[in-house]
Amino acid sequence: MEKRKLGNSGLEVSALGLGCMSMSFGYGPAGDKQEMIALIRAAVEQGITFFDTAEIYGPFTNEELVGEALAPFRDQVVIATKFGFDCDSGKPGELNSQPAHIKQVVEASLKRLKTDRIDLLYQHRVDPNVPIEDVAGTVKELIQQGKVKHFGLSEAGAQTIRRAHAVQPVAALQSEYSLWWREPEAEVLPTLEELGIGFVPFSPLGKGFLTGKINEETKFDSTDFRNQVPRFSEENRKANQVLVDLIGRFAEQKKITPAQVALAWLLAQKPWIVPIPGTTKLHRLRENNGSVSVHLAPEDLRELESAASKITVKGARYPESLQKRVGR
């Protein structure tokens, strides 16, 4: 597995990471714990060194899973987790980035992750009630104490990134980015390039849609988050199939899978981009990791971009209540 550096931070990770959320939360019932531990350890064996979790995934159970799975390999891997929600109050959807709360969350995350340091600590969503300078200053203290190695932001806008970076250098921004959500290209990617910050795209396969395994007839489990996502309404899935078909045709030409096209496209955008596809299946893990050895030539990228840019994706990527929390 190739390695990449996240911007100027010196943080080196495998070219693909593993998003662990879906093993516990978000896309239907949690996976069997022993099977998920085996999957995470298989990822280590395949060269993945970058694992993504958060206290809100579960809540709490995903960090426990990741901590147990990676304990035997702790010094070989980079663990990223996140703070920013009020998981202890019984209102896990409410934002809380108060400095005292951040410190409490870090202590609890360290215990669940069975570790003495968090390699990359993200603010999960920007909290309008706490100046970003106070958040960055708190993480700076935690870095000085050795409890945290690097600071990250998730779904933050360009101005917030600049303000945070001035207080404590930001190693990475994690936001959604894929062939069907390209908004970061307008302001965010140029800001990251200018400041030397790495980019970690989540949902690089469009929450599964770009794999070609979901169509208008697909039925999601009642606990699956995609039931609330406008982009995943039956009508919008039908309309958006045109993008999946385009990726599928391209995959056939290259004799690879649609998922590998979508990931290889992202990897080709910048050398400091590290996507974190999630999965609960070993064969999908292998398939995703295969994308690292796919080389898309400049003319391939131009052809794909040109065709994709003529397609208008239908439906918002979040319900309105969650959309308000991104790009601040």
pLDDT digits over 207-250, tens only? 999 999 999 999 999 999 999 999 999 999 999 999 999 999 99
Q: Is 49 helix (H, G, I), strand (E, B) or coil?
A: coil
Contact 279, 288 (CB under 8 A): yes
Active site annotation includes 57: yes
Contact 263, 273 (CB under 8 A): no
Express each pLDDT in 184-206 by its tens digit: 999 999 999 999 999 999 999 99
Residue 92: DSSP 8-state:
T
Q: What is the pLDDT of residue 327?
A: 85
pTM, entire model: 0.97
Six-digit token pair at 235?
């009508």
Q: What is the pLDDT of residue 90?
A: 76
Contact 274, 16 (CB under 8 A): yes
Six-digit token pair at 46?
């395949």
Query: Which of 27, 57, 122, 177 is the catalytic position?
Result: 57
CATH architecture observed for domain 3-206+270-293: Alpha-Beta Barrel (3.20)
Question: Could you tell me how many residues make up the chain?
Answer: 328
CA neighbor of 47 nearest in space, from 216, 283, 289? 289
Six-digit token pair at 150?
């690097």
Q: What is the pLDDT of residue 225?
A: 95
Q: How far apart are CA 113 and CA 106, in angstroms?
A: 10
Q: How far apart are CA 106 and CA 197, in angstroms?
A: 23
Angle at alpha carbon of residue 192, lines to 189 and 194, rounded to 5°: 110
